[in-house]
Amino acid sequence: MKKGFQFSQMLAALALIVCVAPASRSYSEEININVSYTPGHEKPVPLSISGFNGEAEEAIKFALTIQGFTFTSSEQPQYLLSGSVNGNLVGRAQDRINRTYLVNKSYSGGSTRKQAYAFADDFLAALGRKGIGSTKIAFKKDTGVNSEICIADFDGGGVQTVTSDNAIVISPSWIPGRLGLCYTSYRNGAPDIYQHDLSSGRRTPVARYPGSNLSPAVSPNGKRVAMILSRSGTVDLYVGDIDGGNLKRLTQSREDESSPCWSPDGQWICFAGKKNERRSLWKVSASGGEPVRIATGVSNPSEPDWSPDGKWIVFTSQRGGGFDVCVVPAAGGTATVLVEGEDPSWSPNSRTVVYARRSGKGKNLSMLDVPTKQTKTVSRISGKNSQPSWAK
């Protein structure tokens, strides 16, 4: 393990200066922009962009494409984005129909890329939406036969390697409210679960029971961990404190359970489980009780992740020799197939998902806007990468 890993080095300071005009939340009703949506059936909102170039333009287009916008010059856009970069970034966002400025600011500090994301976030905030420009992802990076855990900015910039175990390290899960992760490492030969403080580099074991200790998922309050253990002879779902105490078994099945995730209120744990050799999504109370099946209407669902707003569950469905990213209402229903891929994880905005896409003999990370199905490859990260986890 690398000593003295400084997570703070990843966080370039962003100072917003000189608010030239007050932000307006007024926008045209011709295109409805709100947090409610129908997965896979929404039209992207047209924008025009001028004045930016190079890294700034690329960053703005990346951030807004995966949040439901499209850039056009041939159609009448709803919003006009303009600005310049000369050391500082100046960004303006105007409602073409109402002729009002939503954003008119100058940004300094940090890189041009970070300034561009701050401008995109301010534009979204003026529309009543939550941006993702300062968020982080964790993921598994293949290093030949082994793997390590890495973290990066949401677009893949500023990659930092967290572990150096020279072993198989998998399933990163962010600890909400802390600069930390949980994950499974084979560093001692067997799969054990650890928690890792990213500011100090210190890590401590969470579960090192005989057999397998897999798939840690940290609760929204950062105090508990759901995990898959085989300590009792069968592969079941357990929950315990993040320091490893107060372990409680939640399922008792002769067939494997996998991939737990938490509801945003911390009351439920969703997981993939088999019954009569048929895999389904289930949820169980975090305090114990009978599991309840979540209908999806597709085959072999696995790897669920509950959206931060509580409305949706995104998951992987296996079909033939491939995999699809799908989404279903949290209460169950008929799932919508979104894109070919696997390992999906929600962003804090409850509409953008990071997932792994098979390419050749490996996997690469991509971003997906769930309402419009627009995608972007995370090209800043090289190599073979999978199992992304978005910090909430």
Q: How far apart are CA 61 and CA 262, in angstroms?
A: 32
Looking at the structure of the chain, the number of domains it has is 2
Question: What CATH number corresponds to the domain at position 169?
Answer: 2.120.10.30
Residue 23 half-sphere exposure toward CB, CA atoms < 13 A? 17
Which residues make Cβ contacts (< 8 Å) with residue 188, sequence separation at least 6?
Answer: none
pLDDT at 98: 87
92 and 165 in a single domain? The answer is no
Q: Rounded CA gap, 166 and 2, in Å?
A: 12
E runs forming strands in 52-165? 69-71, 79-86, 88-95, 100-108, 136-143, 146-153, 160-161
Among 98, 126, 154, where does a domain finish?
Answer: 126
With respect to residue 131, please indicate whether it lies within any of the assigned structural domains.
no
Return all residues near 2 (Cβ < 8 A) that are at least 6 apart: 161, 164, 201
Q: Is residue 90 domain-shared with residue 209, that is, in the same domain?
A: no
Distance separating the N- and C-terminal Cα atoms of the chain: 25
Residue 381 near residue 363, CB atoms below 8 Å = no
Of 211, 212, 216, the closest CA to residue 203 belongs to 216
Closest CA to 362 of 336, 390, 381: 381
CA distances in angstroms from 137 to 6, 10, 149, 158, listed in the order given: 16, 12, 11, 11
Question: Does residue 33 lie within any of the structural domains?
Answer: no
For residues 132 and 154, is the Cβ–Cβ distance under 8 A? yes
β partners of residue 294: 281
State the Cα–Cα distance between residues 262 and 214, nearest whole angstrom: 16
Structure confidence at residue 57 (pLDDT): 97
Cα separations (Å) of 123 from 24, 105, 132? 10, 10, 12
* Residue-wise DSSP of 278-289: EEEEEEEETT--
Claim to verify: residue 300 and residue 379 sit in the same structural domain: yes
State how far the Cα of 217 lies from the Cα of 273, in Å rounded to an integer.
16
Q: Are residues 208 and 351 in the same domain?
A: yes
119/210 same-domain check? no
> Domain containing 69 — which CATH number?
3.30.160.150
Q: Which domain holds residue 115?
A: 7-26+43-126
Q: Are residues 202 and 295 in the same domain?
A: yes
Residue 295 sits in the same domain as residue 362 = yes
What span, in angstroms and rounded, lies between the C-alpha atoms of 125 and 127?
A: 5
User: CA of 86: how far to CAs of 15, 51, 89, 98, 115, in Å?
Assistant: 16, 11, 7, 29, 12
Scored b (16 or more CB within 10 A) or e, 92-125 reads bbbbebeebbbbbbbbeebbbbbbbbbbbbbbbe
**What are the two backbone dihedrals, phi and then psi, of residue 12, each rounded to the nearest 5 degrees?**
-70, 135
Whether residue 119 is found in the same domain as residue 145: no
At residue 10, the 3 state secondary structure works out as helix
Phi/psi for 123 (5° steps) reads: -60, -45
Q: What is the pLDDT along the chain (392 residues), one digit of tens a residue?
A: 433 444 333 333 333 333 323 332 222 233 344 457 999 999 999 999 999 999 999 999 999 999 999 998 866 899 999 999 998 999 999 998 888 999 999 999 999 999 999 999 999 999 999 999 999 999 999 999 999 999 999 999 999 999 999 999 999 999 999 999 999 999 999 999 999 999 999 999 999 999 999 999 999 999 999 999 999 999 999 999 999 999 999 999 878 899 999 999 999 999 999 888 789 999 999 999 999 999 999 989 999 999 999 999 999 999 888 999 999 999 999 999 999 999 999 999 999 999 999 988 889 999 999 999 999 999 999 999 999 999 99
Query: Last residue of a domain, which of 126, 159, 189?
Result: 126
**Judgement on whether residues 160 and 106 belong to the same structural domain of the protein:** no
